[in-house]
Structure 1
Amino acid sequence: MRIPALGILTIVLLLTAAPARAQRYDPDYPVCLQTYGIGGDSIGCGYTSLAQCAQSASGRSAQCIVNPYFAGARVPAGANYRRHRGAY
C-alpha cells in the first residue's frame, strides 16, 4: 500500500509543479532591456529606440540590447527584387 501511494504522490507532485517560463523576445519592438539581479536575469522588449531604453536602464543594473527577433525589418521578397543594383 505504501509503494503505490508514494508513486501516486510523486506523479501528482511532478504534474502540478509550475513549469519554468522561458524568456521570450517580443517581435514587435526593436530594442530590449536586459536586467540583472539576485533573483535572476530578465529581458523585456518594449522599447522603440536605444535612447528610450537607455533612459529606463539608467541607474540600474541593466543594459539595452538589439532584439534579434524583431519582425519589423523584413526584406521584401519577390522575383524582381535585387539586393544590389549595379551600374550596367
Structure 2
Amino acid sequence: MRFSFGLVMIVGAALATVPSHAQTFDPNFPVCMHVYSGANGGGGEWYDCSFASLPQCRATASGRAATCDLNPYYPVNAPPPRLRRGRTG
C-alpha cells in the first residue's frame, strides 16, 4: 500500500511540473503570421497576431519562413439570429 501511494505521489508531482502553453492566438487582431524558425534558427515556431489585414501580414512575411492565416479566435461580426415567432390563433 505504501509503494502504490508513493508511486501516485511521484507521478502526480511529475505531471504537475510539466510546463503549460499559453494561448497562441491574440483575439484582438484578425490575421496571424505563423513563423517557422526551424532547428537552425533556435528551434520552435510561433504566431504573431498583430496584423489588421492579410496584405499587411504577407508584406511582413515576405522573404521569411512564415505564412499568414486568419485568426480563428477573432470575433467575427455575424448578424444576430432571427427570432422565431410562434403563430397565435
Q: Same fold (TM over 0.5)?
A: yes
Equivalence for 2:4: none
Q: Give the CA deviation at 1:30.
A: 0.8
| 1:29 aligned partner | 29
Distance, in Å, in 2 between the alignment partners of 1:65 and 1:79 is 31
Q: Would the aligned equivalents of 1:23 and 1:43 in 2 still touch at CA under 8 Å?
A: no
TM-score (norm 1): 0.61
Provide the secondary structure at the position in 1 that maps to 2:25: coil
Kindly indicate whether residue 65 of structure 2 is the aligned counterpart of residue 61 of structure 1: yes
Specify whether residues 15 and 79 from structure 1 end up closer, same or farther in structure 2 by C-alpha distance, changes over 3 A only. closer
Q: Under a length normalisation based on structure 2, what TM-score does the superposition of the two structures give?
A: 0.60
How many residue pairs end up in the alignment? 77
- Structure 2 unaligned blocks of 5 or more: 1-6, 84-89
Q: CA deviation at 1:22?
A: 3.4
Number of the residue aligned with 1:75: 78
1:23 shift after superposition: 4.2
SS across alignment from 2:69: strand
Instruction: Give percent identity, aligned residues only.
Output: 39
Consecutive unaligned residues in structure 1, runs of 5 or more = 1-6, 81-88
